[in-house]
Chains A and B, each alone.
Chain A
Amino acid sequence: MIQRYRASAGIMLTPAVTLIGIFILLPMLLTVWLSFQDWSTQTPFASASFIGLDNFREIFGPTSVGRDFKGALVNTAIYTALSVILILPLSVAFGLMVYQDDVAGGTALRTVLFSTYMVPMIAVALVWSKLYSPSEGPFNQMLGLVGIGPQPWLSSPRSALISIVVLNVWQQVGYFTVLAIAGLTQIPGSLYEAARLDGANRFEQFRFITLPLMRRTLLFSAVIAIINAVQVFEPVALITQGGPVGSTNVLTYHIRRVGIERAQGGLGSAMAVMLMLSLIVVVCALFALANRKDQE
């Protein structure tokens, strides 16, 4: 009997495990292997030659390769941090708005917020490139109505990256609002009742009941938001091409440019490995922080 199910398990798992093995896990291992090789993306894997840590020395070195990579790493870190810092509080605030007495209003708001998550990023980029347009764009027109001068948005190195953060937050916040609502519905109403009897006001209820009990949800949201943020590609590829002056050159765009367009597969792989390591470190740090708070 057991033998029979073992065979069935094999049959059930083979398609998924084979596909994920060949198209995700194998390429991941190849990325790590290629990061130690001198290899052009236009040649077979067999033509790669081992060069130790040279790729890593180069991407952290003083040449233009190093400058561009370090710039992309910093831009990605800023972009990711800003996205998470904006998305998490907004998702909780919007979640509280949706999850309240006015059920119909709440559901309508949730629908509007979540609908932007369905929009292809390429359409988001197209629409926002026109919203940000310096002269006839609606944002500067509206600012003009309240007496504020036109802003450069995507055309200044000081504001281009944050402008892309804003469109990312606009697109994604609905998804995280739904996650926040899922967390809010898990909090037993009796806790609020007890707190009210003890004379806690709304702010105290939020501070001492809602926030602590939302910690797991917020941790999950933060991890997903970080993983999503490092994938930003379309607005950069379509509108800014990494500029002005490299201010929106982020890792996904840069790695693709180096590894695919310039066919420097070894260098690109070393960059991808650094991205993977950074993500592992950040996510582990987040979990460690959350666990320490749990023990308090």
Chain B
Amino acid sequence: MSAGSSSRLPRKRPSGRKALLATLMLVVAVASAFPLVWMVLSSLKTPAESMQVPPVWIPRTPGLDAYEKVSGVVNVGRSMWNSLVIASITTTGILVTSMMAGYAFAKYHFPGRSLLFSVLIAAMFLPPIVTLIPLYRLVGSIGLNASLAGIIVPNLANAFGIFLMRQFIAGVPDDLIDAARMDGASELLILYKIVAPSVAPAIAALALFAFVYHWNSYLWPLTVLQGNADAYPIVISLSRLLSYNRGAMNTGLVMAGATLAVLPPLILFVFLQRFFVDSIVGSAIKG
């Protein structure tokens, strides 16, 4: 817009404050996005380009050489499959156990309810390292170490999931449940047919949270697998890339690996971010 036109038109020009705010927002967004953008760009460079000083920011001849090399160093297909199995089964288990327990806490009166709930909430705040050593031994003594089952079974119930489900199921009208009881429906059927559809967005949010969390999880799988590479999820396989050909040489390789690990959770997020955000806001406000 030229100076002449702005003086003629009575349109409100953006004030200095607004321009400043917009600039600040842009700076924050760029700083936040930079590492991931740089990761993807670096994964597409040729080895020579990633060594160059001064650096090449945008690859001139983007190629997938680095990705091919990653699949030569680690078994990408197998690891991705393992991650998918771990995250899907764990998520399914969390959904079932959280909905059942959340329903009981929200809609039943039984002795010791608030005490039991408080104990579960306390468990939610316990950092995993506090229980890691005995848990490792415990899982070993029931014969589950060095296996996918060892990663999955201890995580099939989750205190945060119970908390979230209780918060949302409490909002389902009692009349709806009582009417179904009058018709002779069993409690499990009511949970499945009446309650679950009424809290579908919360279920979606919990499913996404659980899936991403267990896709990304590193400490427990690393501990329980004891070097059984056949069962490695993708995050553990990728951690081995850094020590492969240490130094500047492997930048493209490492970035290609990181991109592969980031893609599944990030794609889920892009399509379903509304659920993520709503459930965080929901758990914070109602909590």
Residue A208 lies at the interface, judged by CB distance under 8 Å to chain B: no
Q: Are B238 and A126 closer than 8 Å at their CB atoms?
A: yes
CB distance from B182 to the nearest CB of A (A): 12
* A-B pairs, 4 with minimum CB distance: A19-B157, A30-B134, A27-B131, A120-B216
Residue A291 lies at the interface, judged by CB distance under 8 Å to chain B: no
Chain B binder among A54-62, A154-162, A254-262: A254-262
Choose from A24, A105, A110 the contact partner of B22 (Cβ within 8 Å): A105
Residue A242 lies at the interface, judged by CB distance under 8 Å to chain B: no
Q: Which residues of A contact B36 (CB under 8 A)?
A: 115-116, 119, 127
Dominant secondary structure of chain B at its interface with chain A? helix
Q: Are A255 and B28 closer than 8 Å at their CB atoms?
A: no
Q: Are A13 and B101 closer than 8 Å at their CB atoms?
A: yes
Q: Which residues of A contact B261 (CB under 8 A)?
A: 120, 122-123
Tell me the complex Cα distance, A110–B280, Å. 13
Q: Which residues of B contact A18 (CB under 8 A)?
A: 157
List chain B positions with a Cβ less than 8 A from chain A: 21-22, 24-25, 28-29, 32-33, 35-36, 38-39, 42, 50-51, 53-55, 96-98, 100-101, 103-104, 108-110, 116, 119-120, 123, 125-138, 141, 153-157, 159, 162, 187-188, 191, 212, 215-216, 218-219, 222-223, 235-236, 238-239, 241-242, 248, 251, 254-255, 257-259, 261-262, 265-266, 268-270, 273, 276-277, 280-281, 284-285, 287
Q: Which residues of B contact A174 (CB under 8 A)?
A: 32
Residue A77 lies at the interface, judged by CB distance under 8 Å to chain B: no
Q: Are B97 and A114 closer than 8 Å at their CB atoms?
A: no
| Chain B residue nearest in CB terms to A14 | B100
Q: Which residues of A contact B126 (CB under 8 A)?
A: 24, 28, 276
| Chain A residue nearest in CB terms to B141 | A44
Residue A94 lies at the interface, judged by CB distance under 8 Å to chain B: yes
Task: Please report the number of residue pairs spanning A and B whose Cβ atoms sit closer than 8 angstroms.
Answer: 276
Q: Are A178 and B132 closer than 8 Å at their CB atoms?
A: no
Q: Which residues of B contact A237 (CB under 8 A)?
A: 222, 239
Residue A45 lies at the interface, judged by CB distance under 8 Å to chain B: yes
**Number of A interface residues, CB 8 Å?**
96
| Chain A residue nearest in CB terms to B235 | A122
| Chain B residue nearest in CB terms to A128 | B35
Q: Which residues of A contact B129 (CB under 8 A)?
A: 230-231, 233, 251-252, 255-256, 272, 275
Tell me the complex Cα distance, A123–B266, Å. 12
Tell me the complex Cα distance, A131–B248, Å. 11
Q: Which residues of A contact B21 (CB under 8 A)?
A: 97, 100, 102
Q: Which residues of A contact B130 (CB under 8 A)?
A: 28, 31, 272-273, 275-276
CB distance from B133 to the nearest CB of A (A): 4
Choose from B109, B116, B157, B258 the contact partner of A15 (Cβ within 8 Å): B157
Residue A287 lies at the interface, judged by CB distance under 8 Å to chain B: no
Q: Which residues of A contact B53 (CB under 8 A)?
A: 135-136
Q: Are B132 and A126 closer than 8 Å at their CB atoms?
A: no
CB distance from B86 to the nearest CB of A (A): 13
CB distance from B10 to the nearest CB of A (A): 20
Q: Which residues of B contact A251 (CB under 8 A)?
A: 129
A113/B223 contact (C-beta < 8 A), A44-B141, A136-B51, A255-B133 known: no
Q: Which residues of A contact B125 (CB under 8 A)?
A: 223, 227, 279, 283
Q: Are B137 and A126 closer than 8 Å at their CB atoms?
A: no
Chain B binder among A63-71, A81-89, A180-188, A192-200: A180-188
Residue A6 lies at the interface, judged by CB distance under 8 Å to chain B: yes
Tell me the complex Cα distance, A179–B278, Å. 10
Tell me the complex Cα distance, A41–B104, Å. 38
CB distance from A263 to the nearest CB of B (A): 9
Tell me the complex Cα distance, A190–B128, Å. 44
CB distance from A167 to the nearest CB of B (A): 8
> What are 11 A-B residue pairs whose CB atoms fall within 8 Å in the complex?
A11-B187, A23-B157, A25-B119, A97-B24, A106-B25, A110-B277, A120-B262, A123-B262, A141-B55, A217-B284, A256-B129
Residue A146 lies at the interface, judged by CB distance under 8 Å to chain B: no
CB distance from B169 to the nearest CB of A (A): 11
Additional A-B contact list (12), CB under 8 Å, known A15-B100, A123-B39, A127-B39:
A11-B187, A19-B156, A102-B22, A115-B266, A115-B269, A118-B265, A123-B235, A126-B258, A179-B284, A182-B280, A230-B127, A276-B126
Residue A238 lies at the interface, judged by CB distance under 8 Å to chain B: yes
Q: Which residues of A contact B134 (CB under 8 A)?
A: 26-27, 30-31, 34, 45, 265, 269
Which residues in chain A, 1-42, are within 8 Å of chain B measured between CB atoms? 5-6, 8-9, 11-13, 15-20, 22-28, 30-31, 34, 41
Choose from B55, B262, B268, B284 the contact partner of A136 (Cβ within 8 Å): B55
Tell me the complex Cα distance, A227–B235, Å. 22
